[in-house]
Copies of this chain bind each other. A is one copy, B any other.
């Protein structure tokens, strides 16, 4: 995503975007630059051209601001899951799943900076955990959504009906999440595309 602030003058940028959007953009940029621990609300507010008080009028907590970055700025899993759901019964099921795996890899790779920053900060994690519980959401939900899609393909006879769809979804999402994290530590020997194809072929083999 290009940094909007660098493409337009500060004045026109501020005129065109609402405060809430400017704060989310500034938070995303600050996390990228300083890590979560270094992305203070003071820095974020200054970058967004507003006061910290105004920032807290839009976001009750640092946790809810970071959640907004995750949900509104990253290439979300929702569209990829929606595409996969639409493709049930259409095209080649393994190709559809491999395309989804590639999108999941990209999402987890971008989300890693925020997810790891939350996990590494015990007090931020406590706030995040209770916020997720209150809103009945959480990072495990895409696994359940993927399992539902796999079951639909099983009902259509395109995937082995004896496969445990929940376990299969755990493995496909888990493999993508793990790989996205590993790539931060080491140069992985194989390319994402062939890797996703091999993983999906192994998962849905009969």
Contacts and interface: CB of A to CB of B under 8 A. Distances in A.
A5 interface: no
A121 B117 CA distance: 8
A71 interface: no
Interface string A4-48: 000000000000000000000000000001111100000000000
Contact of A175 (B120, B174, B202, B205): B174
* Majority SS at the chain A contact face: helix
Contact of A181 (B115, B164, B166, B185): B115
Contact of A170 (B116, B125, B195): B195
A63 to B, nearest CB: 12
Contact of A35 (B33, B122, B139): B122
A107 interface: no
A132 interface: yes
Contacts of A125: 184-185
- What is the oligomeric copy number? 2
Nearest to A34: B122
Interface of A: 33-37, 112-113, 115-117, 119-122, 125, 128-129, 132-133, 138-140, 162-164, 166-168, 170-179, 181-182, 184-188, 195, 198-199, 201-203, 205
Contact of A167 (B112, B113, B122, B201): B201
A201 B162 CA distance: 11
A25 to B, nearest CB: 19
